[in-house]
Amino acid sequence: MKSHQMSEASEFVLPVDTLRTAIRAKLRRGTSRQSISLLIRKFVPDGVNTERRQGQVYRLPVEVIPLDRRLSFLDALNELPNRLPAVATGIDRLAS
């Protein structure tokens, strides 16, 4: 039974290429790189280095987003406005 559940779950895994394609599309529509970087940070597991360097946000690779959070990330990315949210709470709202 467990192997059946695993095979069903694997059908719903979003590959990294799908996330990258969605990110590129969002960038073309005007969403800032910084907004996307902040959103990625909200979906990475604890323990991944997410510190800022010299006040800048560097983008973590989408590979660090766990498989079970990728669909939620994609939904939040879709909801991300085409400009940087005025406050960080906008990002927090999208990630929850």
Residue-range domain boundaries for the chain? 14-95
Looking at the predicted structure, is the pLDDT value of residue 50 above 80?
no
Q: What is the phi-psi region of residue 50: left when phi exceeds 0, alpha when psi lies from -120 to 50, beta otherwise? A: alpha
Rounded distance, CA 23 to CA 46, Å?
A: 22
**Sign of the CA dihedral 31, 34, 40, 41?**
negative
pLDDT at residue 7, rounded to an integer: 45
pTM of the model: 0.68
Q: What is the reported pLDDT for 90?
A: 65
Q: How far apart are CA 18 and CA 90, in angstroms?
A: 24
Dihedral (Cα; 43, 48, 49, 52), 10-degree rounding? 10
Q: For 77-96, write each residue's pLDDT tens digit.
A: 999 987 654 445 566 777 76
